[in-house]
Every structure is written in C-alpha cells, then in structure tokens.
Amino acid sequence: MSTRDALILAEEQGLDLVEVAPNADPPVCKIMDFGKYKYLQKKKMHEAKKRAHIGSMKEVRLHLKIDKHDLEFKIRKVRELLEDLHRVQVVMFLRGRERKHTDLGIETMNKVWEAVQDLAKLERAPAAEGNRITMLVSPTRELLKKKEEELRRKEKEDAKSEG
C-alpha cells in the first residue's frame, strides 16, 4: 500500500501511521493509536524498574553491647531485607575499649549468620577492619526463584482480572 493511501486510511479511523520497521525493504508501517502505544511502553518501563531494585545493597548496623531483644529485632530486619531480595551488609561498630574484643563481635555476627542462613548465602564472612566488623549476605538462588515464580503468578492473575 502506498504511504499516501495508508495516511488517508489512518486519518479516517482517527489513528496514526507508525513506522514499525524502518530498515526493512519496503519499510513496515502500522496503523495504531500512537499515544496509547507510548503509554503502554512507559508502563512496561515502570514495571521493569520495579524489578530492577533486586540485588540492591542495604546495611544493618549493630554495636557490641547490643541487648538480646535488639539483636533479635535486627535479625528480623535482615530477614525481611533478604526476602525482598536485597543484599545485606551487616556492620558492627566497635567504640573505645570494645576494639580489643573483636572476638566477641565476630561471635555476635556469627549468631546473625546462623539466624539467616536458611534464606542467605554468605558472600563475605565476618571480618574486622579497623573499628568495624563487616559481613555480607545475599539471598539464595532458591529464594530468588521462589520470588520470580510469585511475580509470574501475580502477573497471570492480574492479566486474568483485566481480561
């Protein structure tokens, strides 16, 4: 079909003539609502950005003189972050004379690791660096797969409810 005829046909329908494959011979065009197309592309990009946060780094800070309940709370927070598919860096700050007792700090960090090891893999073991002890944990592959399946299931349910 000639370009002129396609433009006339598109105007009659109140739509736009959009070039889909400009490198093809002859170039391929489509009659569509260009505004709606741009809106759908923007929506797809937004969905992709939602999933892009997966793998971002979060930090949880501790101190050597942490109470049992406070430690449990911090462990719960680490678990939540792992379930949201974030990598978590656990940092313990040592102040003053606490620096002499890095062994106690590493012991506490190991307690944190034992509490989250069903959800996480240890990327960097607890190690003392100056006045801090750091440990890096990330979600396991099983957890990643489980979350991807949940996303797919949710998308299918959303598609069914829209259709």
pLDDT digits (tens, 9 = 90+) for 71-81: 999 999 999 99
Please report, for the chain, the start and end positions of each structural domain, with discontinuous segments joined by +. Answer: 1-35, 57-144
| Contact criterion met (CB below 8 Å) for 59 and 91 | yes
Parallel/antiparallel/unpaired status of strands 132-139 and 57-63:
unpaired
pTM more than 0.95: no
pLDDT category of residue 33 using cuts at 50, 70 and 90 = confident
For 111-132, the pLDDT digits (tens) are 999 999 888 889 899 999 889 9
pLDDT greater than 90 at residue 14 = no
Residue 51: its pLDDT value, please?
65
Question: Distance between CA atoms of 33 and 15, rounded to whole angstroms?
Answer: 5
- The yes-or-no answer to whether 1-35 and 57-144 have a common fold is no
Domain 57-144: which CATH number of 3.30.1330.30, 3.30.110.10, 3.40.50.150, 3.40.50.1100: 3.30.110.10
CATH 3.10.20.80, applies to 1-35: yes
Could you give the angle at the alpha carbon of 45 between the alpha carbons of 89 and 50, nearest 5°?
30
Q: At what angle do helices 68-83 and 102-116 cross, to 10 degrees?
A: 50
Angle (CA) 147-62-133 rounded to 5° is: 95
